[in-house]
Structure 1
């Protein structure tokens, strides 16, 4: 029994020594890997240290506008680091151009109705159709299409000036967004001011309880746009009144003739319509109306 106990004690002691040896070896391996130098494949961050007077002067790198140029297009200097974007900020990016295009497309109907000649032309064409006594001829789509292309024809010089003064310089990076907006808006303001009466500007200024602008150039856009629309509607109704007069005379003559003949049940419109169409075609009415509308914007 004492011999067996002694053997077991020796075996346990040997196992304990083996475990301690394995633990010591593992600790040596861990400490060695932690203190090993960084390999050349692993990049290290360079830390800029102050240059001592006695240290040798470092080799200069490529010079930038503010000092030695570092990697990745950066320019270092004593006061800090500047980044050379390589002209990325000189022109608007494709995403900005796409955003501007979508915005203009969404606002195009409102701009067309409020800042161009479209409203006046469409109202005059509609009044002409009513003066003829026609309800759906020409259709609304035809009148709207004719008004649209006449508006583009009239607004072409203004649109070209906006493109040359604001849009193209901004796309080329020659102007900022604010400068392009101000310069591009100037031709449109000039067009609207020429077609707007002083009475409408005074009316809207008084309604808003603001001070009267010293000159027409000082009128804000929030006042100019509704004043322009009112002036366009007034001019359209004046033209429509002039168009109505000859057709009204024809209706009166036809109604009197039917009353004299005792034809009480005959609708005067049915009799006067052919005569009105004949008169309109003989004088080339559409050409006269379009010519008058285009010439009203010539000044």
Structure 2
């Protein structure tokens, strides 16, 4: 008898809990439906050829999704981000601090330095392309052309003549190759398929050159520490463990972070 009463009490408890949960779901669903009905939504009109009067056409929607999908590639391949993040990773390897600073800090620092360096380009794009397009003065095609031009000028300023001529010859472009004394900015009419790989090649060369120069002072410290330990007979003691505090101390005393940030920013100016 006691077991039956306990079973009935437990069953009533579960039924009560189920009823309360069902009531809460019904009330919440009704509230959400009311809010959804009252709130103005974004309408998508697949008839992109017609004047939809504020609705989002299929072509504009596809263009927006393509921009969002290509945003990381645009950030990495068409800005100063590549050089900065490679140099910062070289610095961490030269110091031998393993995961300090962590990747999140290095990427965040590279992003904000990129925003600082690219601020004039972003301002020009906003002034010449986005604001006129937003006000309806120019079309979408004209806005895209005006937005790409400042990026081309920035990339061409950082591109080495040898790399640009190499990709011009590979692509068999009708544009003549760059000659000595000729301004590289005169090639703004070239397509991004030539400018972007030329720019990235030059950026990789500069980043690895800066990384090599960063390694030299820390390598000297490693060699001095290793020679000292060998002369003292401490063969089993890892030289990297002893050299790490000296490398950190030297980097802090010479204001390494300030010098590195200033050099990185000035290398684009």
TM-score by length of 1: 0.66
| 2:241 paired residue among 263, 266, 270 | 270
Change (3 A) 1:252 1:92: farther
Deviation at 1:124, TM superposition (A): 0.3
Post-superposition CA distance 1:41-64 (Å, at most 9, x none):
xxxxxxxxxxxxxxxxxxxxxxxx
Deviation at 1:242, TM superposition (A): 1.0
- 1:36 corresponding residue in structure 2: none
Identify unmatched segments of 5+ residues in structure 2: 1-49, 178-185
- 2:80 corresponding residue in structure 1: 117
Give the helix-richer structure, 1 or 2.
2
**Does 2:230 correspond to 1:259?**
yes
| 1:104 paired residue among 46, 59, 67 | 67
**Number of aligned pairs?**
210
| 1:281 paired residue among 249, 252, 268 | 252
Identify unmatched segments of 5+ residues in structure 1: 1-87
Post-superposition CA distance 1:243-268 (Å, at most 9, x none):
11100000010111011111111111
- Taking the aligned partners of 1:104 and 1:212, their CA distance within structure 2 comes to 29
- Taking the aligned partners of 2:131 and 2:66, their CA distance within structure 1 comes to 17
- Taking the aligned partners of 2:146 and 2:55, their CA distance within structure 1 comes to 22
**Does 2:64 correspond to 1:93?**
no
- Taking the aligned partners of 1:134 and 1:146, their CA distance within structure 2 comes to 17
- 1:140 corresponding residue in structure 2: 103
- 2:159 corresponding residue in structure 1: 196
- Taking the aligned partners of 2:141 and 2:176, their CA distance within structure 1 comes to 23
Structure showing greater radius of gyration is: 1
Post-superposition CA distance 1:179-211 (Å, at most 9, x none):
111112111111111011111111112223334
Q: Do 1:213 and 1:219's aligned partners in 2 also have CA atoms closer than 8 Å?
A: no
Q: Do 1:92 and 1:173's aligned partners in 2 also have CA atoms closer than 8 Å?
A: no
**Does 2:152 correspond to 1:181?**
no
Deviation at 1:105, TM superposition (A): 2.4
Q: Do 1:162 and 1:184's aligned partners in 2 also have CA atoms closer than 8 Å?
A: yes
- 1:151 corresponding residue in structure 2: 114
- 1:236 corresponding residue in structure 2: 207
Which gives a bigger RCO, structure 1 or 2 (Cα 8 Å, sep 6+)? 2
- Taking the aligned partners of 1:92 and 1:253, their CA distance within structure 2 comes to 73
Q: Which 4+ residue blocks in structure 1 deviate beyond 3 angstroms?
A: 91-94, 96-103, 209-215
- RMSD of the TM alignment (CA)? 2.0
